[in-house]
């Protein structure tokens, strides 16, 4: 069977089922521990289920899904991670549907396959983290917008803001693309009313549920909102919420309650003025940084540092003895996941996407170029600007850009006129992404 014939038999169902199977193999790893920010969000959702909110600097949207899963299935690894996997599979489906509006079905399938094998997308759609659920609602909003269901598209976008503030990137995308597709000033005036109603629905879908939430939960305002401790080298490092709870259980005081939140204005005031977005604790000077903590490094062919900020599964080491003068018994947990940045995709995908944009502009294929440009400008450029403020950055922030560069590099290779060369080039691209994924897959299949 020729490669082209093999590709013709693949459907979006095959891609999603394969991704789902790969997720199922690792969802239980680890069973009794949380990886990275999972521990933070798990303690937050546990407080949510107890009718409490001690972290007003974190938006509560994801609690509704994971909280429901825990209430139904119990508090263990399946309930923590199953919602992320579901949102991951739905994100792949919606992304495919979006690309079918922009390019051919074959290109849409290839770009969706590439996204499914991206290491950051895979890990974030496996663990109890916020970014993939956010991605789903953002992509759903774009899909509905492309179907010209403008008011309906505002609903998932508004809810995305309840999950994470980076939902604003999808609003920026729609704004850029919408303005770019309007050719005459009379059309712009006509669309003003639609735009105002759209923004009104987004705002209402975000603020009204948040208002109800604040009335019911009355999130507690603490001083400081995010406590820190000073390291030996003088860095002020934030104390995570799970650690705060442990310290408080041992009668240590890290913060004092000074009030209650009763409405979204107060909530957003705390969120923006004293939350992790503006907290000095998240300034780059208070972190041991590597080049991967800066956005420009995510799109350059730089080697991965050995001690990079990675995600991963645990390599448990049993300890039972005396270390540093103290008797210890238990487990040491190490983060093993590497693969971020994904050098096999991010570098070639980003610069290949720019090459396609420039070519499209020259050839006056403006609508496709506008779509891709809107994606890169809205999802990536904000981090370049934010890094200038001194805010520490992490490679997974590139996650929302990955769908667009997966699309861009596929469209670039689709420009190859020779059919055999085009198929071979796309096969090499997909093979490289899969090889990178397999190398860093937590079950170590190669």
Average pLDDT over residues 359-380: 89
Mean pLDDT (the chain) is 85
Helix then strand then coil, in percent of the chain rounded to 5, is 65, 5, 30
Q: Which of the two residues, 357 and 314, has the higher pLDDT score?
A: 357
Would residue 118 be called left, alpha or beta, if left means φ above 0 and alpha means ψ between -120 and 50 degrees? beta
Q: What is the pLDDT of residue 3?
A: 63
Q: What is the pLDDT of residue 317?
A: 55
362 pLDDT above the threshold of 60: yes
**pLDDT band at residue 245, thresholds of 50, 70 and 90?**
confident
Strands (E), 129-252: 220-223, 228-230, 236-238
> Of 84-98, 141-155, 218-232, 319-333, which gets the smallest average pLDDT?
319-333
Q: What is the pLDDT of residue 164?
A: 94
Average pLDDT over residues 426-436: 91
Instruction: Please count the other Cβ atoms lying within 10 Å of the Cβ belonging to residue 290.
Output: 16
Q: Please state the separation of Cα 382 from the chain's center in Å.
A: 14
For 61, what's the count of Cα atoms within 13 Å in the CB-facing half-sphere? Answer: 25
pLDDT for 130-186, tens place per residue? Answer: 999 999 999 999 999 999 999 999 999 999 999 999 999 999 999 999 988 877 766
Residue for token pair 């934010």: 386
Q: What is the pLDDT of residue 194?
A: 87
Q: Are 210 and 267 in contact (CB under 8 A)?
A: yes
6 pLDDT above the threshold of 70: no
User: Can you list the pairs that 435-439 forms with residues at least 24 positions away whose Cβ atoms lie under 8 Å?
Assistant: 435/344, 436/117, 436/119, 436/339, 436/342, 436/343, 436/344, 436/345, 437/117, 437/118, 437/119, 437/122, 437/339, 439/339
Residue 382 CB partners (closer than 8 Å, separation 6+): 169, 172
Q: What is the pLDDT of residue 340?
A: 63
**pLDDT band at residue 328, thresholds of 50, 70 and 90?**
very low
337 pLDDT above the threshold of 60: no
CA distance 433 to 343: 9
Q: How far is CA 60 from CA 46, 66, 124, in A?
A: 12, 11, 18
**pLDDT band at residue 330, thresholds of 50, 70 and 90?**
low
327 pLDDT above the threshold of 50: no
For 98-126, the DSSP string reads HHHHHS-HHHHHHHHHHHHT-HHHHHHTT
Residue for token pair 């209402």: 204
Residue for token pair 């994606």: 375
Residue 86 CB partners (closer than 8 Å, separation 6+): none
Q: What is the pLDDT of residue 183?
A: 73
Q: What is the pLDDT of residue 187?
A: 63
312 pLDDT above the threshold of 50: no
Residues in the chain: 446
Average pLDDT over residues 55-84: 93
Angle formed by the axes of helices 346-362 and 402-413, to 10°? 60
Q: Are 214 and 220 in contact (CB under 8 A)?
A: no
83 pLDDT above the threshold of 60: yes
Q: What is the pLDDT of residue 201?
A: 97
DSSP state of 314: B
Q: What is the pLDDT of residue 445?
A: 42
For the record, the structure tokens of 312 come out as 């991963």
Q: Are 139 and 91 in contact (CB under 8 A)?
A: yes
Q: What is the pTM of this model?
A: 0.89
Q: What is the pLDDT of residue 185?
A: 63
Phi and psi at 326, nearest 5°, equal -125, 145
């Amino acid at each position: 069977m020729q490669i082209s014939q093999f590709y013709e038999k693949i459907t979006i169902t095959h891609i999603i089922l394969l991704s789902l199977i790969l997720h199922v193999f690792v969802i239980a790893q680890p069973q009794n521990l949380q990886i990275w920010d999972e521990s933070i969000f798990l303690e937050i959702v546990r407080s949510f289920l107890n009718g409490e909110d001690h972290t007003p600097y974190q938006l509560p949207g994801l609690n509704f899904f994971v909280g429901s899963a825990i209430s139904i299935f119990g508090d263990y690894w399946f309930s923590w991670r199953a919602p992320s996997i579901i949102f991951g599979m739905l994100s792949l489906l919606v992304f495919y549907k979006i690309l079918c509006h922009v390019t051919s079905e074959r290109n849409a399938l290839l770009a969706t396959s590439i996204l499914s094998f991206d290491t950051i997308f895979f890990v974030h759609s496996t663990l109890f983290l916020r970014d993939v659920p956010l991605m789903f609602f953002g992509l759903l909003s774009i899909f509905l917008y492309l179907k010209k269901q403008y008011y309906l598209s505002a609903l998932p976008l508004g809810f995305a803001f309840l999950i994470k503030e980076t939902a604003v990137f999808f609003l920026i995308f729609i704004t850029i693309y919408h303005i770019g597709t309007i050719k005459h000033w009379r059309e712009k005036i006509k669309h003003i009313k639609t735009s105002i109603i759209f923004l009104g629905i987004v705002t209402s879908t975000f603020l009204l549920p948040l208002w109800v939430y604040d009335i019911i939960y009355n999130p507690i305002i603490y001083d400081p909102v995010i406590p820190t401790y000073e390291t030996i080298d003088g860095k002020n490092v934030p104390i995570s919420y799970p650690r705060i709870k442990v310290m408080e259980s041992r009668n240590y005081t890290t913060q004092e309650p000074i009030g209650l939140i009763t409405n979204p204005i107060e909530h957003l005031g705390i969120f923006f003025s004293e939350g992790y977005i503006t907290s000095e604790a998240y300034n780059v000077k208070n972190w041991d940084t590597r080049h991967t903590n800066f956005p420009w490094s995510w799109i350059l062919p730089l080697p991965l540092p050995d001690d990079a900020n990675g995600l991963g599964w645990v390599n448990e080491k049993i300890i039972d003895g005396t270390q540093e003068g103290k008797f210890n018994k238990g487990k040491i947990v190490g983060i093993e996941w590497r693969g971020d940045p994904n050098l096999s995709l991010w570098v070639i995908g980003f610069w290949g996407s720019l090459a396609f944009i420039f070519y499209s502009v020259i050839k006056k294929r403006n609508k496709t170029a506008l779509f891709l440009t809107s994606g890169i400008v809205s999802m990536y450029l904000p981090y370049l600007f934010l890094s200038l403020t001194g805010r520490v950055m992490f490679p997974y922030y590139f996650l929302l850009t990955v769908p667009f560069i997966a699309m861009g590099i596929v469209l670039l290779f689709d420009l190859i006129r020779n059919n055999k060369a085009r198929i071979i080039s796309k096969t090499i691209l997909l093979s490289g992404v899969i090889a990178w994924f397999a190398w860093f897959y937590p079950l170590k299949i190669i």
